[in-house]
Amino acid sequence: MPKVVKSAGREIILKVKEFCEAEQKNQGVLIPINNVRKRVAVMTGVSEKTVSRITQEGKVAASTSKRIVTPGKSRLRAKKIDLDGFDLCSIRHKIHQFYTVKKELPTLNKLLAVLKEDIGFEGSRATLHRILQSIGFKYKRCQSKSKLLI
């Protein structure tokens, strides 16, 4: 039963065949046989650095008796919490409320508890910190060495 070769493999095979036909037409080698890395790079259509990197991976895989693994594709992930402008304004309003109405310093834990109760915020403490940074709030150290949300 013949082996199935995927499109990337087929392209490489065609490039190697074209290189060999060019050498046949030239009645000799195009690139010296001693320069193996450059010959492989030209035959396969990749850079010499890529050939070197794959060769190193092959040596490591052979010494550890593991297979060469193709790196996975990095995908953009959807945000778990999607906040609209109204939610961002309500978060900003709650922070200002801490300073004006309650007359206390807002911490992430206090703010998270209030937001979960009032607007049904579903994120974690780290998510809230990230959102506060995106809105434009920053933490500054005061004289008592604690951090203030500004």
pLDDT tens digits for 89-139? 999 999 899 888 988 888 888 999 999 998 888 888 999 999 999 888 888
Residues 60 and 89 in one domain: no
Residue 45 pLDDT > 80, yes or no?
Answer: yes
Residues 89 and 140 in one domain: yes
What CATH number should be reported for the domain holding residue 120?
A: 1.10.10
Query: Taking a C-beta distance cutoff of 8 angstroms, is the pair 44, 16 a contact?
Result: yes
Domain housing 104? 85-149
Cα separation values, 20 from 46, 94, 116, Å:
16, 72, 68
Residue range 46-73: average pLDDT? 85
Alpha carbon distance 60, 63 (integer Å): 5
Identify the CA nearest to 137 among candidates 100, 79, 81, 96.
Answer: 96
pLDDT score of 123: 87
| pLDDT-based confidence at residue 64 (cuts at 50, 70, 90) | confident
State the total domains in the chain. Answer: 2
Q: Evaluate the CA torsion angle 61, 62, 65, 68 in order and state its sign.
A: positive
Alpha carbon distance 120, 82 (integer Å): 13
Residues 92 and 56 in one domain: no
pLDDT score of 1: 63
Does residue 2 lie in a domain region?
no
pLDDT score of 47: 93
Alpha carbon distance 24, 30 (integer Å): 9
Average pLDDT, the chain: 86
Residues 59 and 94 in one domain: no
Does residue 69 lie in a domain region?
no
Does residue 58 lie in a domain region?
yes
Residue 145 pLDDT > 80, yes or no?
Answer: no
Residues 89 and 60 in one domain: no
Does residue 123 lie in a domain region?
yes
Q: Which amino acid, 43? A: M
Alpha carbon distance 51, 83 (integer Å): 46
Residue 61 pLDDT > 90, yes or no?
Answer: no
Residues 136 and 90 in one domain: yes
